[in-house]
Amino acid sequence: MASDQEEDEFLGFSDDEGDGTNSDSDYDDDEATQNAESEVNAHQIGDFEQNQQLPDLNEVGQEYAQECEVGPQHTSGISDNHSVPFLFDLNMPTQQEFPPSPIHQTETEQNHHKPRTPRINNELRLEILLFLLLRKEKHSDELIHGTNRQAVIKFGYTRKTIRLIWQRALAHKAAMDSYFYDSKYHNCGRKRIQVTYEFIASIAMGDRTTIIDLARMLNLSPTTVWRMVKRKQIKPHSSPLNSGISEECKMARMKWVLGLLMDYSIPNDPTYYSMYDFIQIDEKWFYLTQKSQRVYLANNEPFPHRKGKSRTKIPKFMFMAAVARPRWGQDGQCEWDGKLGIFPFTDAVAAKRTSKNRVKGTIETKPIKSVNQIATRAMLINYLIPAIKEKWPPHEGKRVIYIIQDNAKAHILQNDQE
């Protein structure tokens, strides 16, 4: 019963029900318990005081209350004859949940986000000097009282910086020299590592394919080499693998180029043939669509939805393009742009069976799966030659027109009868 009473008093309750009243049995038990405890405590304290003097608990409690800032509302549930060093309430948060006091914050934490004063440049240094010269006393090198403070407020720099600028100007004046306001900022800090051209060129190509390999060969860090690349001291290069040309092929190309020289212009004024009757043709694959395509939409415009049977098997078509040299008039206007057309390698095939997309017998356009000499011959006869007859400038009259092809195996020969 005594332990229950102590817990009730400590937690701020006077009885079990918490209604503020005490029953008769509580009074009887409390008086008997207090008498028994007072006799035991008096006996124990008397024995303890003979060996050691106890401190005043009331004073200790007041000191702890002052340190921990315990108010009177925290001690309302405890009687006057019980004094403890530190009082707490279960309904109150612990001490760690309170925000820390600004007294315990270090100076580093307070100044952690303080903006740093920017480095003073040469133009601002000259402006500060002119500001000080306008506030100089007559017939003296002393400044008017309060000038340094005004400069500090206006420019945002310390008194030491303002005073050094003024002392530097006085030193130049005493030496009969003009004021040199440039700083020595470019001479401070670590010096850049210099790597010569011969040192880099002496390293084998296979040992400098990456920045890490080059840094290892130069005995530098990869970050240093990366900075040298940004400063364009080292330039990256992707070396393509070119096809080798034999000597016979080189001689054949030279003969063809020299054959375009007109005979009457040699040797005084070599002039190449105009090549107005030459047509260049070439083939190119084009995919029907792309996996991902960027478009620019208006505000609140719905996103386009594209569909296909497969993203990995997009249909592709081969086209043949034919161009010639454009024709220009005397006034500089283009008479003919030289474009003959671009023609697809496709076939018109009738559908073999009915499906949800079309009825049997519907003509469909299908790409030619194999572009061989037969397909190339049909392209020249059915599309290219009619386009030449239609679009070729009529005022040039009849002449031989040459069609230049590349070295593809599917191209037809010059002596093809058809």
pLDDT at 213: 94
Query: What's the maximum distance between 2 C-alpha atoms anywhere in the chain?
Result: 144
Phi, psi (degrees; rounded to nearest 5) at 346: -135, 165
Q: What is the pLDDT of residues 328-354, one digit of tens each?
A: 988 889 989 999 999 999 988 999 999
User: Which whole number is the average pLDDT over 154-162?
Assistant: 91
CB 122 within 8 A of CB 182: yes
> Does residue 1 have a pLDDT over 70?
no
Identity of residue 144: I
69: left (phi over 0), alpha (psi -120 to 50) or beta: left
Mean pLDDT computed over 376-383: 92
State the pLDDT at residue 5.
52
pLDDT band for position 389 (cuts 50, 70, 90): very high
pLDDT in tens, 48-102: 344 444 334 344 344 434 444 444 444 444 444 444 443 434 344 444 444 444 4
Residue 111 predicted with pLDDT over 70:
no
* Top-confidence residue, 43 or 347: 347
Structure tokens at 46: 């008397």
- By DSSP bridging, strand 316-324 and strand 339-344 are antiparallel
Residue 165 makes CB contacts below 8 A (sequence gap 6+) with 125, 128, 129, 132
Q: Give the model confidence (pLDDT) of 170-189 as tens digits.
A: 888 888 887 776 776 667 77
SS3 (DSSP) at 272: strand
First-last CA distance in the chain = 124
DSSP strand E in 301-338: where?
316-324, 327-328, 334-336
Cis ω on the peptide bond leading into residue 267 (within 30° of 0)? yes
Indicate the pLDDT class of residue 326, thresholds 50, 70 and 90.
very high
Measured CA to CA, the distance from residue 5 to residue 82 in angstroms comes to: 13
Residue 288: φ, ψ to 5°: -65, -35
CA-nearest of 94, 89, 92 to 11 is 89
pLDDT band for position 113 (cuts 50, 70, 90): low
Query: Over 80: is that where the pLDDT of 29 sits?
Result: no
Judge whether residue 38 has pLDDT over 70: no
Q: Is residue 165 pLDDT above 50, yes or no?
A: yes
Mean pLDDT lowest among 35-44, 249-258, 303-312: 35-44
When pLDDT is averaged across residues 396-403 and rounded to a whole number, the result is 87
Q: What is the pLDDT of residue 117?
A: 73
CA 97/CA 104 separation, integer angstroms? 15
Six-digit token string for 344: 């697809």
**Residue 298's Cα: distance from chain center in Å?**
27
What pLDDT does 225 receive?
94
Q: Which value, to the nearest 10 degrees, does the dihedral of the CA atoms of residues 223, 228, 230, 231 take?
A: 150
Most trustworthy range by pLDDT among 109-118, 220-229, 285-294:
220-229
Average pLDDT rounded to a whole number, residues 145-165: 91
> Phi and psi dihedrals of 345, rounded to 5?
-90, 85
CA–CA distance, 147 with 127 (Å, rounded to integer): 14
Cβ distance 328 to 337 under 8 Å?
no
Task: Report the SS3 class of residue 283.
Answer: strand
Strands (E) in 351-401, as ranges, are 363-367
Distances (CA, A) of 24 to 15, 28, 29, 35, 353: 12, 6, 9, 17, 107
Cα separation, 143 vs 160, whole angstroms = 15
How is residue 105 written in tokens?
């914050």
Is 83 in contact with 57 (CB distance < 8 Å)? Answer: yes
Is the pLDDT at 356 greater than 70, yes or no? yes
Query: What pLDDT does residue 123 have?
Result: 86
Q: Are 5 and 30 in contact (CB under 8 A)?
A: yes
Q: Looking at 213-217, 242-246, 341-345, which range is the least confident one?
A: 242-246
pLDDT higher than 90, residue 105: no
